[in-house]
Chain A
């Protein structure tokens, strides 16, 4: 199974070792699914980690290392040029939908703008996706 983890999920995993996003990272490392990323997703991750409130929690060197680690460990796909199959309430999320659709991946997000599309597109909350991985 392939999954695109939204930047909010990846950042949450770094901040909360006991949370569901962290368990998703460990499940990925254990081979439970393949993580898909793209240049735009990595760029958004890098920008968000530089947000002042986050910079106080994740040192810039560790933020850079985190982005580099995801970049070299995930399946890196090109950002699709076409339209997403469905539109998000926030157009800035459309690239994630397009990426997941092009890569036949589940999109995993903690953002209600995206999870509200679950009846029209395979987008899951971290908890729902983790539950789907567990026997």
Chain B
């Protein structure tokens, strides 16, 4: 996906930590910020879950309902 340029206003200590992390990992500041946001927004988690599971909708809902009912006290 094409990247878009944006402007952020953040705490200087946060920016310093971003730059330190970027230098340690050999990445750009933007990469470090984007990776942190993807983790916090759950985007990485959804990618991981959806890479591991590809049930059809009816099967997923049936299994989810079964799990919900069977685990109720």
Q: Which residues of A contact B59 (CB under 8 A)?
A: 15-16
Looking at chain A's contact residues, the main secondary structure is helix
CA distance A6 to B59 in the complex (A): 17
Count contacts on B: residues with CB < 8 A to the other chain: 27
Q: Which residues of B contact A9 (CB under 8 A)?
A: 61, 64
Partner of B56, one of A6, A19, A111: A19
CB < 8 Å A-B pair total: 106
Counting chain A residues whose Cβ lies within 8 A of the other chain, the interface size class is 35 or more
Q: Report yes or no: B45 in contact with A66, Cβ–Cβ below 8 A.
A: yes
Partner of A14, one of B49, B65, B68, B72: B49
Q: Which residues of A contact B72 (CB under 8 A)?
A: 44, 47, 92
CA distance A36 to B62 in the complex (A): 23
Q: Which of A5-40 contact B (CB under 8 A)?
A: 6-9, 11-12, 14-22, 25, 29
Q: A76 near B: Cβ within 8 Å?
A: no
Q: Which residues of B contact A98 (CB under 8 A)?
A: none
Q: A116 near B: Cβ within 8 Å?
A: no
Q: Which residues of B contact A12 (CB under 8 A)?
A: 57, 60-61, 64
Q: Which residues of A contact B (CB under 8 A)?
A: 6-9, 11-12, 14-22, 25, 29, 44, 47-51, 53-54, 57-59, 62, 65-66, 69, 73, 90, 92, 110-111, 126
What are the 5 tightest A-B residue pairs by CB atom distance, in nearest-first order?
A: A19-B57, A17-B50, A51-B67, A11-B64, A16-B60
13 contacts between A and B (CB under 8 A): A11-B63, A15-B59, A15-B60, A16-B59, A17-B53, A18-B57, A29-B43, A53-B67, A57-B53, A59-B52, A69-B42, A92-B72, A111-B68
